[in-house]
Amino acid sequence: MYTAVRVFVTLTLTYVIVAGLLGTIPQMSILEETARNLYFHVPMWFSLMGLTVVSAYHSFRFLQTRDLLRDVRAREAARVAMLFGLIGIVTGMMWARFTWYEGTNKWWNFDPKQSMAAILLLIYGAYFVLRSGIDIVEKRGRIAAVYNLFAVVTMPFLLYVLPRQMDSLHPGAEGSPAFSQTDLAPAMRWIFYPAVLGFFGLAWWIYTQRVRVAWLEEDARDEPEL
């Protein structure tokens, strides 16, 4: 199965990168050539959402079973989610710079969607700070799991519910519907949907490999010294 996932991710993302960067794109008002960023920016946030749910699920299972592997899975899923979230923030800043703030040299203007995304990353950053402050393994896993369940509840509110109630330049806010003809032309869907699947697969690939390495490290620490 892992081989199939790797092949799928490699082929899909190769197609997305080549077609996304070199293929023709409909000329849409305001976005113009920057619309290519849709193939990369949006899938990052979709991947973050999926990984935070996976992380919360394993935290919940850890509270039920006290299985340390569950705690490792929760931690690594949150870590990879942070990686994709940071890339999402950076690509979003680049996009905003050349569409919303062209000619002003602004990379950040505290747009509601930007601010809510940054708050979410800070919440998950605090998850790792919390973990680093507790030495007892089971206690660390238990407290981190409870915090993680709180964190995942904030995710849909910060990324979807609250921004939709505010005036914003970002698609998906009040008065600016997402995935409309103005930001996702029909011809772009042939690249966008594979991009979502490809980056989901990449996130899963990185996550599973990190879990394997982390679990091997846990086993090595548990081995008695000779």
Residue-wise pLDDT for 51-101, tens only, equals 999 999 999 999 999 999 999 999 999 999 999 999 999 998 888 777 766
How do residues 88-107 score in pLDDT, each as one tens digit? 999 988 887 777 666 566 77
pTM of the predicted protein model = 0.86
Is residue 125 in some structural domain?
yes
Residue 115 in this model has a pLDDT that exceeds 50: yes
Within a domain: 75 = yes
Q: Which long-range contacts (CB under 8 A, 24 or more apart) does 21-26 make?
A: 23/191, 25/185, 25/187, 25/188, 26/185, 26/187, 26/188
Range of the domain at 114: 2-25+36-213
- Does residue 226 have a pLDDT over 50? no
> Would you say residue 148 lies in a domain?
yes
Query: If you average pLDDT over residues 98-124, what whole number do you get?
Result: 81
pLDDT, residue 225, reads 46
Residue 124 covered by a domain? yes
Domain-embedded: residue 50: yes
Q: Which residue has the higher pLDDT, 138 or 165?
A: 138
**Number of domains composing the chain:** 1
Q: What is the mean pLDDT of the chain?
A: 86
Is residue 189 over pLDDT 90? no
pLDDT tens column, 160-184: 888 777 776 666 555 555 555 555 6
Rounded to an integer, the average pLDDT of 24-44 is 79
Lowest mean pLDDT among 18-22, 65-69, 145-149: 18-22
